[in-house]
Every structure is written in structure tokens, then in C-alpha cells.
């Protein structure tokens, strides 16, 4: 459901990137370091270099009930991953979901659909994934970072133990000007297979990401969505997301209002201080 945003590991320069991404890279503004929590300019780097197993145990432990949402007629579990530990098959499954649910929106926009660029973005070293599947026990090639505990009735035959039914990807990065030194959790993608749509699963995935942000101590979550994707826009509005100040404005050409292809949304999630970077 969400459009990608240009990745930024840290604010580095005042040069504007491609306008269609509407993102800026600015020089880092130093802040006094806290004795327990790194300064904002260091927090993102510290978290992105933290060993994955440590990150998972601190901020989304295997026993967390959030990883076992109750879905009607299916045992559903969520597993946390990085782009490094996803198998080729799982990456392909995630890409196929993007292509199925969003390629038409890309093609209808000035951005266009570029499979190679999308796959490159998915493999960014700092990208993290929440994978949704019926049963994670068959995932033997990746770290065991979640345990399904649902007691729901057996799932329909269309769902097998290896099928990825949906996913959310996110990155810890920086806000846009005038708050370019503020860490944010940026949600890159939220996609679900048809069988799980309209069941509250997408909302749950977003809320898991928001919980991670709060536990880390990050105040804000951001995402980008196509304007033509009215269903996703309604969902994010219900979840408390609002048009961000850095969102590209509509244009007026010869007296006609031309709507931007996408809108950047933000939400303050109350993560100031949070549980801190332990």
C-alpha cells in the first residue's frame, strides 16, 4: 500500500535528490549526547549497526503477543527479519505482492514502475521486514525471532505453511526539513494477499511498527502512499496519520489543479524517551 521513499542513512548534504521522491539530505545537526540514549544524530546509526538478534530481543522479543495476531480461520504469525536473512524465495514472494497490489499505481504515476529499482530498494542493508504467514516453523534458514501462539481453527487449504501472506517493511532513518536531524521510523511497504484484506491485518502490522518506534524512543512514524490509492489513504487516516509538511504540494497549470502522485503522511507516536536504547 505504501510507496517507497529514498533511503537516507544519515543527513549528509544540502543537495536535493530527485524531485519525485521529495526528499532532502541535510548536514547533521549535532545534539548533546545523553548518558543513556545516543544523540539523535547517532541513534539511527547505533540502531542500524546493532546485531539483529540484539535488536529483536530488545524491541520485538519472540514472546511478544504482537507477533501472534488472531486472524479468523487461520493461525497467523509475524516474524521479524532484515534484508540480509531473507531467502531469495521470500524476497521474491514480497516483490510479487508489491507487483500485484501496486504496480498499476506506479505505472499510472509520473514515477513509473521499475522492478529493478524496487528490488534494489528491498535489499537495502538497513531495511527490516515483518513477514506475515500462517506458520513460521518451516522458516529454517532465518533467525527464529517469533513464535506463533494462535489457537484459532485450522486455516483454509489456500494457506500453506510456507506462504507469505503479507508483509511490512520499515527503516530507521531521518525526518525531512525542517526536522532533518529527528530520527523516524519510515514505513516503506505494507502489502497483503487477497485472503487477508479487510480483516484488520494491515492495521495490526502498522501498529507493530509503531510499537517498535515507541520502544526505541523514536517519536514519529512516516510513510508515503499514492493519492489514487483511496483505500490505503482511508486506512492511514483511521490510524491517525496526517499529511506531513514535507509532502509535495499540488501544482496549478494553466488554471488547472494537478494533484501530486503521492502524499507523505506522518504520525507522532509518543516515543520521546520511550524505553530507550538499552
Q: Measured in whole angstroms, how far is the alpha carbon of residue 68 from the centre of its chain? A: 18
As to burial, measured by CB atoms within 10 angstroms (0-12 exposed, 13-18 middle, 19+ buried), residue 193 is: buried
- Say whether 197 sits in a helix, a strand or coil: coil
Query: Is there a domain that residue 166 lies in?
Result: yes
Alpha-carbon gap, residue 73 to 91, rounded angstroms = 26
**Is residue 34 situated within a structural domain?**
no
Taking CA atoms, 137 is separated from 143, 155, 180, in Å, by 11, 15, 41
Q: Which grid coordinates belong to 216?
A: 526505541
Q: Is there a domain that residue 20 lies in?
A: no
CATH number, domain of 111, equals 3.40.630.30
Q: Evaluate whether 202 touches 1 at the Cβ level (below 8 Å).
A: yes
Q: Is the dihedral of CA 100, 213, 69, 241 positive or negative?
A: negative
Question: Is 177 domain-assigned?
Answer: yes
Which residues constitute the domain of residue 47? 39-268
pLDDT tens-digit profile, the chain (278 residues): 555 455 454 443 333 333 333 322 223 333 433 334 455 668 999 999 999 999 999 999 989 999 998 766 556 899 999 999 999 999 999 999 999 999 999 999 999 999 999 999 999 999 999 999 875 443 443 343 433 333 333 333 444 546 899 999 999 999 988 888 899 999 999 999 998 888 889 999 999 999 999 999 999 999 999 999 999 999 999 999 999 999 988 877 777 888 899 999 999 998 765 444 34
Give the CA radius of gyration of the chain. Answer: 19
Specify if 13 maps to a domain: no
Q: Which set of grid coordinates corresponds to residue 241?
A: 496519520
Count of the separate structural domains present in the chain: 1
- pTM metric for this prediction: 0.77
What does the pLDDT read at residue 57?
A: 97
Distance CA 276, CA 47 (A): 11
The candidate with the shortest Cα–Cα distance to 170, out of 155, 152, 184, is 184
Report yes or no on 107 lying in a domain.
Answer: yes
- Does 278 reside within a domain? no
Looking at the domain assignment, is residue 8 inside a domain?
no
With a CB cutoff of 8 Å and minimum separation 6, the contacts of 238 are 203
Amino acid at each position: 500500500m505504501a510507496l517507497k521513499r529514498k533511503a537516507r542513512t544519515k543527513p549528509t548534504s544540502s543537495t536535493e535528490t530527485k524531485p519525485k521522491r521529495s526528499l532532502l539530505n541535510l548536514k547533521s545537526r549535532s545534539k548533546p549526547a545523553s548518558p543513556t540514549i545516543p544523540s539523535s544524530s547517532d541513534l539511527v546509526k547505533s540502531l542500524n549497526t546493532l546485531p539483529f538478534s540484539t535488536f529483536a530481543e530488545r524491541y520485538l522479543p519472540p514472546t511478544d503477543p504482537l507477533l501472534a495476531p488472531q486472524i479468523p480461520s487461520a493461525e497467523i504469525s509475524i516474524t521479524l527479519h532484515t534484508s540480509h536473512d531473507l531467502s531469495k524465495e521470500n524476497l521474491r514472494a514480497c516483490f510479487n505482492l508489491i507487483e500485484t497490489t501496486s504496480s498499476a499505481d506506479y505505472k499510472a504515476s509520473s514515477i513509473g514502475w521499475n522492478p529493478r529499482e524496487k528490488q534494489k530498494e528491498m535489499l537495502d542493508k538497513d531495511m527490516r521486514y515483518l513477514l506475515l504467514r500462517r506458520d513460521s516453523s518451516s522458516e529454517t534458514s532465518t533467525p527464529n525471532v517469533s513464535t506463533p501462539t494462535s489457537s484459532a481453527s485450522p486455516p483454509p487449504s489456500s494457506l500453506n505453511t510456507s506462504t507469505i501472506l503479507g508483509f511490512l517493511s520499515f527503516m530507521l532513518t531521518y525526518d525531512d526539513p525542517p526536522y532533518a536531524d529527528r530520527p523516524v521510523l519510515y514505513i516503506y511497504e505494507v502489502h497483503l494477499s487477497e485472503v487477508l484484506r479487510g480483516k484488520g491485518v494491515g492495521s495490526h502490522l502498522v501498529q507493530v511498527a509503531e510499537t517498535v518506534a515507541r520502544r526505541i524512543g523514536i517519536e514519529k512514524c512516516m510513510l508515503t502512499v499514492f493519492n489514487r490509492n483511496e483505500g490505503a489513504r482511508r486506512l492511514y487516516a483511521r490510524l491517525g496519520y496526517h499529511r506531513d509538511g514535507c509532502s509535495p504540494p499540488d501544482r496549478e497549470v494553466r488554471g488547472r489543479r494537478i494533484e501530486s502522485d503521492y502524499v507523505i503522511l506522518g504520525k507522532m507516536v509518543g516515543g520521546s524517551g520511550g524505553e530507550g536504547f538499552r
